[in-house]
Amino acid sequence: MDPRRIVSRVRPVKVPDHLEHRPIMTSSYPIWAFLILIVFLGGFIGSMISGGSVLVFAILAFLNVPVKTAIGTLKFAIMVLCLFSAVTFLRGGAVNVKLVPPLMLSSLAGALLGTQIILSLPNEIVNAIVILLICLGTASSLRLETPKNPESASAKPGRILPVLTGLLLGINIGMLGIASALITISVLISLFRLRMIEANGTSKMIIFANNLVACVAYAINNNVDLLLGVLIAIPIAIGSWAGAKTALKMKGPTLRMVFVGISLLTIVKLLSEII
């Protein structure tokens, strides 16, 4: 047989999108040390209040990870962050265990239900809604006073309000992911009168469940780089534990100021995208 015919029949092997970025993993040690530090800070900041996902996504973009795979891997990273953070907050008594079940279950349904609705909205409208919610939550946190009796820190919400709230939060967490922790904390403070630290810990439980479901969905479609996800999960886990420990030691006014500062930075970023 003519060798040229054999060569012509050989088809090139297409490398899957989620593996095309792997060559950069041979980068020098100083670069990887810097990236690990950034990921650690992402876990620390994200656990203490919010904003860590922005740093993690920036690292994934730097590594030339395809967009869909980057989002799926980010969901995996956020899941790890919220898991370690939520467990730390739970041990520190900073989670409202009565609110978690209805909020968590309904938020999962909301993430599935809100897919088409949220995707049909223009980005400008979505950003405007996010800005409004963050502004309301920031204002609520500023005028929220720490009650003298910790057991009366949160109002009795009834049965319908947590389910409805979780449904709406799930739409944002599952589909948008834009400032999801800030919005969740803001809503919990505004509607349920939770203390800042308690709202933070409760939000991590809700966000963990939503990102777990989202991560599975992305993984089924082969859009999660598990190797890279595990590598960045280690510094994220350490950072989230340290961030939660730091938040538990902070006084209410100090944590409130950190929340306001990150909220203002997020609002400025979203406004820049609208304008």
Residue 203 located in a structural domain: yes
| pLDDT of res. 16 | 52
- CA triple 158-159-163, angle to 5 deg: 125
Asked whether the CA dihedral 85, 86, 87, 90 is positive or negative, the reply is positive
Structural domain containing residue 163: 28-274
Residue 249 CB neighbour total at 10 angstroms: 11
HEC profile for 176-226?
HCCCHHHHHHHHHHHHHCCCHHHHHHHHHHHHHHHHHHHHHHHHHCCCCCH
| pLDDT of res. 273 | 63
Residue 8 located in a structural domain: no
Residue 113 located in a structural domain: yes
| pLDDT of res. 68 | 78
What domain count does the chain have?
1
Helix residue ranges per DSSP H, the chain? 3-9, 29-48, 52-62, 67-91, 100-113, 115-119, 123-143, 160-171, 180-192, 196-220, 226-249, 252-274
| pLDDT of res. 147 | 46
Residue 13 located in a structural domain: no
> CA-CA distances (angstroms) from residue 20 to 15, 70, 84, 222?
6, 12, 30, 13
| pLDDT of res. 31 | 81
Report, as ranges of residue numbers, the positions in the chain whose pLDDT lies below 70. 1-27, 114-121, 123, 126-127, 129-130, 133-134, 136-157, 174-179, 270, 273-275
| pLDDT of res. 83 | 94
Residue 242 located in a structural domain: yes
Residue 190 located in a structural domain: yes
220 and 175 in contact (C-beta within 8 Å)? no
Token pair for residue 87? 């467990």
Residue 5 located in a structural domain: no
The DSSP secondary-structure symbol of 28 reads: -
CA–CA distance, 91 with 96 (Å, rounded to integer):
12
| pLDDT of res. 62 | 82
| pLDDT of res. 63 | 85
| pLDDT of res. 190 | 85
Residue 200 located in a structural domain: yes
| pLDDT of res. 225 | 92
